[in-house]
A and B are shown apart, each in its own frame.
Chain A
Amino acid sequence: MAHDLMTTPGTGSAPKGGAAGRSPLGRFVRWDVLVTALLIAVFLAGAAGSPDFANAGNLSFALGDLGEIALIALAMTLLVVAAEVDLSVASVLGLSSAMIGALWDAGWAIETIIPLVVVVGAVCGLVNGLLVTRLGLPSLAVTIGTLALYRGLAYVVLGDKAVAEFPQRYTDLVTGDVPGTPIPYPVALFVLLAIITGVVLHATGAGRALFAIGSQEEAAFFAGIRVKRIKLVLFVVSGTMAAFAGVVYTLRYGSARADNGFGVELAVIAAVLLGGVDFDGGKGTLGGVIAGVLLIGLLRNLLMLNDVATEIQSIVTGLLLIVSVLTPRLAAVVRQRRRSPAPHTPLSSEAESNR
């Protein structure tokens, strides 16, 4: 036994076969499944309850209506998995919209405006990222600050007026369908981006690194992962995506306003957490997030079809948000109780470091 440690692989105590469990993620896989099941239930209930629901026109409208939330949620998932958060996304969306309006008013071409505002969004993200990674500030505080700053800049750029009257060939790009299908362009784009994000998060070294950073940043750093650079990139991606969502939003409603997308950050975070991503980082799947986004979208659509007031929708979103963080914690508490009846297990550090 003495000298074979390094030389004879395959004879250890490893169980044979592909029985590798997914137990660390097991709880959340189940959560994904739960959300997906809920999604299907809501869909079936909707189809049974209202004839206007399950037709291609309404569904494609419901999906299109989710566009900006879904796009931003992709980037937000990556950030939250890495235990960071970006609350400024809705303000970047607003700034992007306001700039489109102001520049269009000034006679610029849309072809120039769109790349420009996307770059501005990237810069907004870069500012967030630099403040977080270079100065070591909490991303929560930083992005509360830039939430106000970017929204303020949006008002500075456009004031409280609205710019409309974008030529139809541009708004068609957003409201139109991919030829031959009932699928709106933004949805097709979202599917493409979601596939890319899913592959990056779940099947590349970068994705593995994100989970490691989110669960234990120091250990990730000691494993040679460039923690700061990765986080910086994430914030830039988040800003870019938010600005792009601003473009989609503006063209879809055909109206550029500084207050566009007010409060969207909450809906995005609700969708991400509802999808089973742990707010403390390190856990979650993109599939869950997409289910979460769709669930929120379908619920909204159903409530709207049934003439339920918009304020109830806000209450439902809020409750979903609370439930989605509360359930896993309560489940964890119950499990812990069951495992160790003694009330004083070694003090866990997660306990009170809320936020």
Chain B
Amino acid sequence: MTAVTADATPGGRSARGLVELVFRARELSLVAALAVLVLVTTAVNPNFLSGQGVKDIFLNTSILALLAVGQSLVVITRNIDLSVGSVVGLVAFCTGKFVSADPTGRGVLTALVFGVAIGAVCGLLNGLLVSFCRVPALVVTLGTLYVIQGLDHYIAHGQQINAVDLPPALLHLGNEGVLGVPYLPVITVVVMLAVGYYLRSYPSGRDFYAIGSSPEAARLAGVPVRRRVLAAYLFSGALAGLGGVLWLARFGTVVADPARGWELIVVSAVVVGGVAIVGGVGTVYGAVLGALLLTTIGSALVVLKVNSFWQQALTGALLLLAITVDRVLAVRVTRLLRKRSVRHGA
């Protein structure tokens, strides 16, 4: 027995260090990639780091990052929500129409409540279908993507929302800030910190990881699997609703389905940020960093006068790189951990 005890400890300790390093490594390497990108771009064109340039990047990242936070929660439970882009569009347009009908009486708060409620309803629908009807998440959210998109176009009917019809306070929310810091990134950071803290520090937050890591074991451990999955979708939908209102506030002028195709960018951001597509692993901080990286690449391409058409291709390539690296690392780490826990040649 003593022999067993003696050689187990060092193996265990270093294994833990190793794994933590790997997980931290994702966030660190994202920061490093960002730093390199910013340095190179600034070296070529110093305007990149001007006050306005930085502010634009943060403004542009905010909504994407918000969606990435919601999507992370869903992906961590081994599911996916492809309908977020269409929800943003629906909410942006409907909220715009709603407040512009009475710009003096309906203010920022009303708009936020209205938009988040629509988003939450969409999320609830997805969640019910996935968790209680056990329909594959990909298919269901593809379907709701279609439906919501059609609904959006139907409601819009070729019209568009104009900034002049909106309450000034709403536009102020989207473009101004306090002490030079715009509101949008502040909102995103607050949401990110709250969700990140919840996921790490509360038992119900850990349930999400448990479900994604092993649904079977989660059920055996008495985790309320369906309720948590439903909650993840509800939350993702509500955040998409919030994102829709902020979209309206930022751009003012909105046509139908403005965030078309965003679902894939959001999923890319989440996966690039280190949330495993098979669930159970990842943090919202990583997902937000992923969103920041994707946005910064877009801005850098403009500044570097690279054909901006490369952006989408790069997003795809980055996603492929991220899942490949994840896979290779996972295989390596598992092998290493297994070697360390093998004792006495078993």
Q: How many Å lie between the Cα of A153 and that of B309 in the bound state?
A: 8
Contact indicator B153/A152 (Cβ below 8 Å): no
Closest Cβ of chain B: how far from A305's Cβ, in Å? 18
From B78, B150, B229, B278, give the contact of A318 (CB < 8 A). Answer: B150
Taking the complex as formed, is A329 at the interface, i.e. its CB lies under 8 A from any CB of chain B?
yes
User: Interface residues of A toward B: which range?
Assistant: 35 or more
Interface stretch (choices A52-60, A130-138, A217-225)? A130-138
Contact indicator A315/B154 (Cβ below 8 Å): yes
Q: How many Å lie between the Cα of A153 and that of B314 in the bound state?
A: 9
Q: How many Å lie between the Cα of A37 and that of B154 in the bound state?
A: 30
Taking the complex as formed, is B204 at the interface, i.e. its CB lies under 8 A from any CB of chain A?
no
Contact indicator A159/B309 (Cβ below 8 Å): yes
Q: How many Å lie between the Cα of A235 and that of B111 in the bound state?
A: 46
From B80, B147, B268, give the contact of A315 (CB < 8 A). Answer: B147
Interface stretch (choices B129-137, B174-182, B240-248)? B129-137
Interface stretch (choices B47-55, B162-170, B281-289, B320-328)? B320-328
Given contacts A349-B216, A352-B211, A355-B136, contact A318 B314 (CB under 8 A): no
Contact indicator A148/B277 (Cβ below 8 Å): no
Taking the complex as formed, is B25 at the interface, i.e. its CB lies under 8 A from any CB of chain A?
no
Nearest A residue to B140, CB-CB: A322
Interface stretch (choices A180-188, A240-248, A306-314)? A306-314
Given contacts A145-B323, A152-B313, A156-B313, contact A321 B219 (CB under 8 A): no
A-B pair count, CB < 8 Å, reads 177
Closest Cβ of chain A: how far from B44's Cβ, in Å? 20
CB contacts (< 8 Å) of B216 on chain A: these are: 347, 349, 352
From A311, A329, A333, give the contact of B153 (CB < 8 A). Answer: A311
Nearest A residue to B256, CB-CB: A311
* Chain B positions 312 through 345: 1 when the CB is less than 8 Å from some CB of chain A, otherwise 0: 1111110110011001100000000000000000
Contact indicator B264/A144 (Cβ below 8 Å): yes
CB contacts (< 8 Å) of B313 on chain A: these are: 148-149, 151-153, 155-156
Contact indicator B310/A140 (Cβ below 8 Å): no
Contact indicator A312/B211 (Cβ below 8 Å): no
Given contacts A156-B307, A315-B150, A354-B79, contact A326 B327 (CB under 8 A): no
Closest Cβ of chain A: how far from B83's Cβ, in Å? 10
Taking the complex as formed, is B145 at the interface, i.e. its CB lies under 8 A from any CB of chain A?
yes
Contact indicator B309/A152 (Cβ below 8 Å): yes
* Chain A positions 101 through 136: 1 when the CB is less than 8 Å from some CB of chain B, otherwise 0: 000000000000000000000000000000100011
Q: List CB contacts (< 8 Å) of B60-111 with chain A.
A: 78-80
Taking the complex as formed, is A147 at the interface, i.e. its CB lies under 8 A from any CB of chain B?
yes
Closest Cβ of chain B: how far from A66's Cβ, in Å? 17
Nearest A residue to B318, CB-CB: A145
From B147, B309, B319, give the contact of A319 (CB < 8 A). Answer: B147
* Chain A positions 251 through 268: 1 when the CB is less than 8 Å from some CB of chain B, otherwise 0: 000000010000000100
Nearest B residue to A259, CB-CB: B261
Taking the complex as formed, is A150 at the interface, i.e. its CB lies under 8 A from any CB of chain B?
yes
Q: How many Å lie between the Cα of A199 and that of B137 in the bound state?
A: 32
Given contacts A149-B313, A322-B129, A355-B80, contact A315 B135 (CB under 8 A): no
CB contacts (< 8 Å) of A352 on chain B: these are: 78, 134, 211, 215-216, 219, 225, 229
Taking the complex as formed, is A238 at the interface, i.e. its CB lies under 8 A from any CB of chain B?
no
CB contacts (< 8 Å) of A280 on chain B: these are: 136
Q: How many Å lie between the Cα of A141 and that of B325 in the bound state?
A: 13
Q: How many Å lie between the Cα of A149 and that of B311 in the bound state?
A: 9
Nearest A residue to B152, CB-CB: A311
Contact indicator B147/A155 (Cβ below 8 Å): no
CB contacts (< 8 Å) of B271 on chain A: these are: 141
Given contacts A315-B151, A329-B133, contact A141 B277 (CB under 8 A): yes
Contact indicator A312/B150 (Cβ below 8 Å): yes
Taking the complex as formed, is A63 at the interface, i.e. its CB lies under 8 A from any CB of chain B?
no
Given contacts A141-B277, A349-B216, contact A318 B146 (CB under 8 A): yes
Taking the complex as formed, is B142 at the interface, i.e. its CB lies under 8 A from any CB of chain A?
yes
Query: Which of A312, A353, A355 has its CB near the most chain B CB atoms (within 10 A)?
Result: A355
* Chain A positions 298 through 309: 1 when the CB is less than 8 Å from some CB of chain B, otherwise 0: 000000000001
Contact indicator A315/B79 (Cβ below 8 Å): no
CB contacts (< 8 Å) of A347 on chain B: these are: 216, 219-220
Taking the complex as formed, is B32 at the interface, i.e. its CB lies under 8 A from any CB of chain A?
no
Contact indicator A135/B327 (Cβ below 8 Å): yes
Contact indicator B327/A325 (Cβ below 8 Å): no
Contact indicator B135/A322 (Cβ below 8 Å): yes
Taking the complex as formed, is B236 at the interface, i.e. its CB lies under 8 A from any CB of chain A?
no
Taking the complex as formed, is B57 at the interface, i.e. its CB lies under 8 A from any CB of chain A?
no
Closest Cβ of chain B: how far from A84's Cβ, in Å? 12
Contact indicator A354/B134 (Cβ below 8 Å): yes
Closest Cβ of chain B: how far from A347's Cβ, in Å? 6
Taking the complex as formed, is A201 at the interface, i.e. its CB lies under 8 A from any CB of chain B?
no
* Chain B positions 293 through 311: 1 when the CB is less than 8 Å from some CB of chain A, otherwise 0: 0000000000000010111
Taking the complex as formed, is B267 at the interface, i.e. its CB lies under 8 A from any CB of chain A?
yes
Contact indicator B316/A147 (Cβ below 8 Å): yes
Taking the complex as formed, is B139 at the interface, i.e. its CB lies under 8 A from any CB of chain A?
yes
CB contacts (< 8 Å) of A322 on chain B: these are: 129, 135, 139-140, 143-144, 147
From A160, A315, A351, give the contact of B215 (CB < 8 A). Answer: A351
Taking the complex as formed, is A269 at the interface, i.e. its CB lies under 8 A from any CB of chain B?
yes
Closest Cβ of chain B: how far from A153's Cβ, in Å? 5
CB contacts (< 8 Å) of A152 on chain B: these are: 309-316
CB contacts (< 8 Å) of B153 on chain A: these are: 309-311, 314
Q: List CB contacts (< 8 Å) of B223-282 with chain A.
A: 225, 229, 264-265, 267-268, 271, 277-278
**14 further interface pairs, Cβ-Cβ under 8 Å (given A142-B320, A151-B312):** A135-B324, A145-B316, A145-B323, A149-B313, A151-B316, A311-B151, A316-B150, A318-B142, A321-B146, A322-B144, A326-B135, A329-B134, A353-B78, A354-B138
Complex A-B: 21 CB contacts under 8 Å: A135-B327, A145-B316, A145-B317, A147-B264, A153-B313, A155-B313, A156-B309, A156-B313, A159-B309, A258-B309, A270-B142, A270-B143, A279-B138, A311-B151, A321-B143, A329-B133, A351-B219, A352-B215, A352-B229, A354-B134, A354-B135
